[in-house]
Amino acid sequence: MAPVSTRAFSIPRPASSSLGINATLQRLAWLVGSLLVFAILWQIIAEFLQNRYLPTPVAVFDVLMREARNGELWKHTSATLLRVFFAFVISMFIGTAIGLVLGRYKTADRFFDAWLILFLNLPALVTITLCYIWFGLTDAAAVTAVALNKIPNVAVNMREGARSLSKDLSEMAIVYKFGWWKTLRHVTIPQLAPFSAAAARSGLALVWKIVLVVEAFGRSNGVGYKLTIAFQEFDVTTILAYALAFILIVQFIEFTILQPLQARVSAWRR
Amino acid sequence: MAPLNGMNVGTPIHVLVKRKTFPAVGDRQAQLVLRDVSFEVAPRSFVVITGPSGCGKSTLLNIIAGLDTDYEGEIDLGPAKDSLTFIFQTPRLLPWRTVYENIALVLPDGDPRRAEIPAMIDRVGLAEAANAYPERLSLGMQRRAALARGFILQPEILLMDEPFVSLDDPTATSLRELLMELWHSQPTTVLFVTHDRSEAIQLGTRILRLAPGEASVAQDAVVNLNEAERRDRAAVLAEQNRIFAAT
């Protein structure tokens, strides 16, 4: 969020935010270091066991490179990413809207609470199969199925956020005549931001896992589809290669977008 | 809107609360908080509303501010009603905005008063903390910021609800002095709620005492102290004993 317009006052900001680059490097060092240790452990165990169903990370990496060169990797991950993106955006949007309404209006909350619990506990497999049966084996059905799994989750998070909106601060905004836009931007959204960030982070992880299931069931491209093919051939190396590719992508999004976003919305905390 | 300072002495405020009750909740019965509370406030006067906790002082202030509309009666603030500011019991700063931003936010974009923010921050003694987030400041400093936010608007009416409660003595005293200084340079009609009688005498030109049970104004007294005497503990105590002799 941009600061209030006039920046006439030139007193340095508190130290925490001026350490930006250092803090990022440190975060990166921890991430790379811990993943490296994991890879080394895996390599040692795989070499020790010598089992064709547990390939070494080096072998997995070779397959990954091969798939990248022949274009298969890009084809399938991009298809998956597109589905993840749409499912994520749709579920964040609808889930937030539902959550805010339930958090603000007691009657709506009382009525829809049971629905929410129902959808929260509906197994992903059920929504997926039903969506395919009702809407056909299409991308729209696939994305809908994923969104339906994620929406209740986002709604529950945002409902907590809406419930915890401070009455003190909204009275302050009334007395100081903030108007609806200023109130939304400077009073309401900053209070909801931590809930939204939490929903986004847990959401991304959930969405991409369910997208793979949806693809395994009824799509002819995407990482999920590729994994089913590899499963039919008991090709563990390819399974791990694609899993690795996707983990790297999700880690990248987490590291470059979601974590900085969360750090930014909570910079003011003591 | 243009500040009316110096050009217009303003019109009095009329307050009439015939009846204010809190509705029954669960096992608790409905509670009568205020009944036939009626008074008039001269412009540019510093009126302190005092009384023990639970006597309805804060409720009265919320009604005057327009935050509580569920009452019988009539509040007439006159033309000054659009120039009203409320300084709350807690600072109520936005924790995710710096001190400077918190103050700037109460002014519309491009308002000429924005240019005065640095000077105002300096006056309340927060020059070093202008770009700090409120939660990194002490309560006393947060209250200074809240005062700056209130006074930057140059309000015609200033409502204050125990703004110096739960501070240590020296901090509270220095904040009272700051308030007096700001009030003298920017005279405005003040309604100040406190349960602290000594504070009431030090600050107010007039005291309205609410009593529990009666739910209406029990006493309306003028404070006869000049500026020097207000700083003198003995004089304040003598005046306190005179005004509150009956209780």
Question: Does residue B148 belong to any structural domain of this protein?
Answer: yes
Question: Does residue B2 belong to any structural domain of this protein?
Answer: no
Among B104, B132, B154, the domain-final residue is B154
Question: Does residue A5 belong to any structural domain of this protein?
Answer: no
- Domain span holding position A155: 57-265
* Section B220-238 average pLDDT: 87
Question: Does residue A12 belong to any structural domain of this protein?
Answer: no
Question: Does residue A75 belong to any structural domain of this protein?
Answer: yes
Structural domains in chain B (count): 2
Q: Decide: B167 and B140 in contact? Cβ < 8 Å.
A: yes
Structural domains in chain A (count): 1
Given a cut of 70, whether residue A19 has pLDDT beyond it is: no
Question: Does residue B232 belong to any structural domain of this protein?
Answer: yes
Specify whether B45 is located in the same domain as B166. yes
B109 to A172: CB separation less than 8 angstroms, yes or no? no
Three-state secondary structure readout of A15-81: HHHHCHHHHHHHHHHHHHHHHHHHHHHHHHHHHHHCCCCCCCHHHHHHHHHHHHHCCHHHHHHHHHH
B211 in contact with A, Cβ within 8 Å: no
Specify whether B25 is located in the same domain as B62. yes
pTM: 0.75
Given a cut of 80, whether residue A193 has pLDDT beyond it is: yes
Specify whether B49 is located in the same domain as B67. yes
Question: Does residue A81 belong to any structural domain of this protein?
Answer: yes
Q: Tell me, what CATH number does A78's domain have?
A: 1.10.3720.10
Question: Does residue B1 belong to any structural domain of this protein?
Answer: no
Of A3, A177, A269, the CB nearest to B101: A3
Given a cut of 60, whether residue B2 has pLDDT beyond it is: no
Tell me the pLDDT tens digit for each residue of A138-162: 999 999 999 999 999 999 999 999 9
Of B66, B88, B133, the CB nearest to A268: B133
Q: Compute φ and ψ for B224, nearest 5 degrees.
A: -100, 75
Beta-bridge mates of residue B17: B37, B73
B90 to A168: CB separation less than 8 angstroms, yes or no? yes
Specify whether B132 is located in the same domain as B168. no
Question: Does residue A14 belong to any structural domain of this protein?
Answer: no
Specify whether B36 is located in the same domain as B14. yes
- Domain span holding position B247: 7-83+158-247
Specify whether B112 is located in the same domain as B128. yes
Specify whether B221 is located in the same domain as B175. yes
Question: Does residue A121 belong to any structural domain of this protein?
Answer: yes
The burial class, CB within 10 Å (0-12 / 13-18 / 19+), for A128 is buried
Mean of all residue pLDDT scores within chain A: 87
Specify whether B105 is located in the same domain as B172. no
Q: What is the pLDDT of residue B3?
A: 45
Residue B11: its H or E element:
none
Instruction: Give the C-alpha separation, B109 to A6, whole Å.
Output: 9
Specify whether B97 is located in the same domain as B69. no
Instruction: Give the C-alpha separation, A39 to A189, whole Å.
Output: 41
